[in-house]
Amino acid sequence: MINTVDFITPPVDDPYWFGLISAANSISDVYSMGGVPLTALNVVMFPSKHLDMGFLKEILRGGHDKVVEAGACLVGGHTVDDEEPKYGLCVSGIVHPDRVITNAGGKPGDALILTKPLGSGVLFNAVRSGKLPFGDLERDTLPSLAALNGPAMKTALKFDLHAATDITGFGISGHSLEMALGSGSQVILHFDRLPFYNNALRMYQKGETTGSNKANRELVKEKMQVRRALTGHEEQLLYDPQTSGGLLLAVPDSQAPELIKDLGAAGVGSAVQVGEIVDGPYGLVVA
C-alpha cells in the first residue's frame, strides 16, 4: 500500500484548471513508485470569507474529474478556513512489494528519459505578474501539466525500469541529483536535449523568476558541475520548480529508443532521452 499527501496553492487563477493540475500532481506520487491509485481524499484550505464558494466548487470539480480519469474513487476529505486557497489529495494506492520503483535503483549504463517539458514555475509567476497572457499558458502548458503520469509509468513498467522519480519542486537539477545519490553514481544531463515549455526561457530573460530558484540552486551547488556555456537565464531553467511535472525514468540504454517509441504510442509525445547514468563519484553534470 502507498499513502501520499500533497497539496499546492493555486498555480493559476482558473479554479477548474487548478483542481485538475493539483489532483494530477498529488496522484503522481503513487505513479512514480510504480503503483496504481485506488482512493483519494480532498485536502482543502479555503478563505470562505473572501472568495465565492463557486470558486471552491470548480476546484473540487476539477479534482474529481482527474481522480475519475485515474480510475480511483474520491471517498471524502477535509476542509479548513485559511488565508489563501490550497488544494490537493491524500491518495492511497497499491504496488506489488517486489516491484516498488524508487529513485535509488539507477545503474551505470542507464539512459534517462523525461516525459514532460520543464519551466512551469516561471510561467505561473509570469502570468501572475502580467508578463505572460493566461491564454498562452492555457494553450501551450496547462494540458501537459494536467496530464496524468499513469500512462507513462504503465508503459515504462514493461521495460527493465531501474529507477524513477517525478520532477516537482526541486526542479530537474534537484531531482536528478537525488537519483545520482540513490544510485551512488554520476548523472549527466544534456542541456540541449532538455525540453522546455514555450516562453519559459523568455520569461527568465524578461526578469521573472520563482521563490524556489535560489534555494534549489543552493541545494545542488556542491555536487553539480555545469560543463557547457550557459547564460544565467538558461541556468535558471535547471532550478525551476515544477508542478505536476513529468517522470524521469532510468532504463538500460539499449531499451531507450523502444521505450520512447512506446511512450509516444501511449500519448506521451514529449518523452525524450535527456541524459544517462555513468560510473563516477556521486554528482550531477550538465553537459
C-alpha cell at 12: 493559476
Q: Are residues 274 and 174 in the same domain?
A: yes
Q: Are residues 94 and 115 in the same domain?
A: no
CATH number at residue 63: 3.30.1330.10
CA distances 198 to 123, 140, 202, 204, 276, Å, are 9, 7, 8, 12, 25
- The predicted pLDDT at position 258 comes to 98
C-alpha cell at 207: 526578469
CA distances 248 to 55, 60, 114, 165, 168, Å, are 34, 29, 5, 5, 11
Is the pLDDT confidence value at 1 over 70? no
What is the C-alpha end-to-end distance of the chain, expressed in Å?
A: 39
Q: Are residues 257 and 237 in the same domain?
A: yes
Q: Are residues 84 and 114 in the same domain?
A: no
Residue 49: CB partners within 8 Å, gap ≥ 6? 81
Q: What is the dihedral of CA 194, 200, 204, 208, to 10 degrees?
A: -140
Q: Are residues 183 and 88 in the same domain?
A: no
Is the pLDDT confidence value at 124 over 80? yes
Q: Are residues 221 and 123 in the same domain?
A: yes
Q: How many CB atoms lie within 10 A of CB 63?
A: 29
pLDDT tens-digit readout, 128-166:
999 999 999 999 999 999 999 999 999 999 999 999 999
Is the pLDDT confidence value at 9 over 70? no
Of 45, 72, 99, the last residue of a domain is: 99
The predicted model gives 170-193 an average pLDDT of 97
Q: Are residues 15 and 130 in the same domain?
A: no
Q: How many CA atoms lie within 13 A of 169 on its CB side?
A: 12
The answer as to whether 206 is a domain residue is yes
Structure pTM? 0.94
The answer as to whether 85 is a domain residue is yes
Contact (CB, 8 A) for 34 and 101: yes
The answer as to whether 39 is a domain residue is yes
Of 71, 99, 127, the last residue of a domain is: 99
Q: Are residues 156 and 277 in the same domain?
A: yes
Is the pLDDT confidence value at 7 over 60? no
The answer as to whether 95 is a domain residue is yes
CATH number at residue 266: 3.90.650.10
CA distance 37 to 73: 9
- The predicted pLDDT at position 10 comes to 60
Q: Are residues 202 and 243 in the same domain?
A: yes
Eight-state DSSP code of residue 95:
-
Please count the structural domains in the chain.
Answer: 2
Is the pLDDT confidence value at 5 over 90? no
Closest CA to 93 of 40, 37, 41, 42: 37
Q: What is the dihedral of CA 183, 255, 160, 195, to 10 degrees?
A: 60
The answer as to whether 104 is a domain residue is no
The answer as to whether 94 is a domain residue is yes
pLDDT tens-digit readout, 91-101:
999 999 999 99
Closest CA to 117 of 213, 203, 245: 245
Reduced to 3 DSSP states, what percent helix, strand and coil does the chain have, rounded to the nearest 5? 40, 25, 35
Q: Are residues 253 and 142 in the same domain?
A: yes
The answer as to whether 265 is a domain residue is yes
CA distances 146 to 17, 77, 141, 190, 243, Å, are 8, 21, 9, 26, 10
pLDDT tens-digit readout, 209-237:
999 999 999 999 999 999 999 999 999 99
C-alpha cell at 103: 529513485
Of 99, 122, 148, the last residue of a domain is: 99
Q: Are residues 125 and 235 in the same domain?
A: yes
- The predicted pLDDT at position 146 comes to 97
Report the mean per-residue pLDDT for the chain: 94
| Beta strands 247-252 and 186-189, pairing class | unpaired
- The predicted pLDDT at position 77 comes to 92
Q: Are residues 89 and 171 in the same domain?
A: no
pLDDT tens-digit readout, 10-66:
666 789 999 999 999 999 999 999 999 999 999 999 888 888 889 999 999 999 999
Burial class (CB in 10 A: 0-12, 13-18, 19+), 139: exposed
Q: Which domain holds residue 238?
A: 110-286
- The predicted pLDDT at position 68 comes to 98
- The predicted pLDDT at position 232 comes to 97
The answer as to whether 105 is a domain residue is no
- The predicted pLDDT at position 85 comes to 86
Q: How many CA atoms lie within 13 A of 125 on its CB side?
A: 19
